[in-house]
Chain A
Amino acid sequence: MLRQAPRFLLSRASAAAMRWSHPFSTDLPAEAAGDSKFIDAWKKSIPNMDPPKTPSAYMATRPPTPSTIPSKLTVNLVLPYDSVLSAKEVDMVIVPATTGQMGVLPGHVATIAELKPGILSVHEGNDTTKYFLSGGFAFVHANSVADIIAIEATPVDHIDPNLVQKGLAEFQQKLSSASTDIEKAEAQIGVDVHSALNAALTG
C-alpha cells in the first residue's frame, strides 16, 4: 500500500499541473506557421516544457487576399473626429496623391500613398461624391479595402469662393515678402492649399 503512495502523489501533482497549463479554450491559436522552426528547435532542446508564445501568436492574421478580384471596393474615409465613410462598397475612388491623381479599383495592388490637399471622388454606379481633403494618407490593402485618413474632408459646396480668393492673394503676397525659411514655407503652403481649393471649386 505504501509503495503505491509515490505514484499516487505523483499523479495528483501532475494532474494539478496539467490543469494550470491548459487554460482557456478561447485562447488565440497558439502556433503561427512562421514560428514552426522555432518550435521545432525548442522541442529538440527542451522537450519537457511547452514552447513559449511568440509575438506573432498574439497578432490577428492578415485577412486573406481573395483568389478572384472582388466586384466592389470597400472604402473607409476617417477623420480625427468623424468617420465619413465606413465600409462603403463602391466601384472606384480617385485619391489626390502627392504623385498625382490615383484611381483605385477593386483588385488594386496594396499601396500606401501620401495625399496632398485635393479632391477625393467616390464613384458608385452613376453617382460621384466629391470631398476636398486637406491631406493625409491612403492605404489600399490587397483584399480591396481602401482606408483613407485625412484631417479635414469637406464636400466641395461647403467651400466659400470669396475666402479662397482672398486667402490666395494674401499668401501670394506673403510669399513675395517672406524672409526666413519658415515664413517662406508657411506662405508656400498657404499658396498650395488655396490653389488646390480654387481648382476644386472650378474643376
Chain B
Amino acid sequence: MASNAAVPFWRAAGMTYITYSNLCANLVRQCLKEPHRSEALNREKVHFSISKWAKGKPEKPKSPVLHYYS
C-alpha cells in the first residue's frame, strides 16, 4: 500500500489533532467581543492540583492551580 498522503504541517511538526483543534478553538475564543470572550474563557477554566510522587509517597502537593487551557 502506498504511504499516507501528505500529512498536515502541524502533524509533521509533532502536534496531535486534539492539540491543534484546541489551539484553534482557543484562538477563536480570544478574538470574541467582550461579554462573550470572558464567558468563553471562563467556561474553559480547569481546576487541578499536581503532586509529584517520590519513593511511593506523594511529596507535599502544590496549591491547586487555575489554568486556561492553552
Q: Which residues of B contact A109 (CB under 8 A)?
A: none
Stretch at the interface among A33-41, A46-54, A185-193: A185-193
Give the CA-CA distance A144 to B46 in the complex, in Å.
Answer: 38
A159 in contact with B24 (CB, 8 Å) = no
Q: Judge whether B50 is part of the interface by a CB distance below 8 angstroms.
A: no
Known contacts: A135-B21, A152-B25, A189-B27. The answer to whether A182 contacts B13 by CB under 8 A is yes
Checking A136, A163, A186 against B31 with a beta-carbon cut-off of 8 angstroms, the contacting residue is: A163
Checking B10, B31, B34, B43 against A185 with a beta-carbon cut-off of 8 angstroms, the contacting residue is: B10
Give the CA-CA distance A134 to B59 in the complex, in Å.
Answer: 40
- Interface positions, chain A 182-203, Cβ under 8 Å from B, are 182, 184-186, 188-190, 193-194, 197
Give the CA-CA distance A11 to B34 in the complex, in Å.
Answer: 78
Interface class of chain A by DSSP: helix
Q: Which residues of A contact B29 (CB under 8 A)?
A: 152
B10 in contact with A189 (CB, 8 Å) = yes
Known contacts: A151-B21, A154-B36. The answer to whether A132 contacts B28 by CB under 8 A is yes
A186 in contact with B23 (CB, 8 Å) = yes
Checking B12, B28, B33 against A193 with a beta-carbon cut-off of 8 angstroms, the contacting residue is: B28
- Closest chain B residue to A137, Cβ basis: B21
What's the interface size class on A, roughly?
20 to 34
A193 in contact with B32 (CB, 8 Å) = no
- Closest chain B residue to A185, Cβ basis: B13
- Closest chain A residue to B27, Cβ basis: A193
A184 in contact with B13 (CB, 8 Å) = yes
- Would you give the 0/1 interface string for A141-164, flagging 1 where the beta carbon is closer than 8 Å to chain B? 000000000011010001110011
Binding site for B on A (CB under 8 A): 81, 117, 132, 134-136, 151-152, 154, 158-160, 163-164, 167, 181-182, 184-186, 188-190, 193-194, 197
Knowing that A152-B29, A194-B31 touch, tell me 9 more A-B residue pairs with CB under 8 angstroms. Answer: A117-B24, A134-B21, A135-B25, A154-B28, A158-B32, A160-B32, A181-B12, A185-B14, A189-B24
Q: Which 3 residue pairs spanning A and B have beta carbons closest together?
A: A185-B13, A151-B25, A181-B13
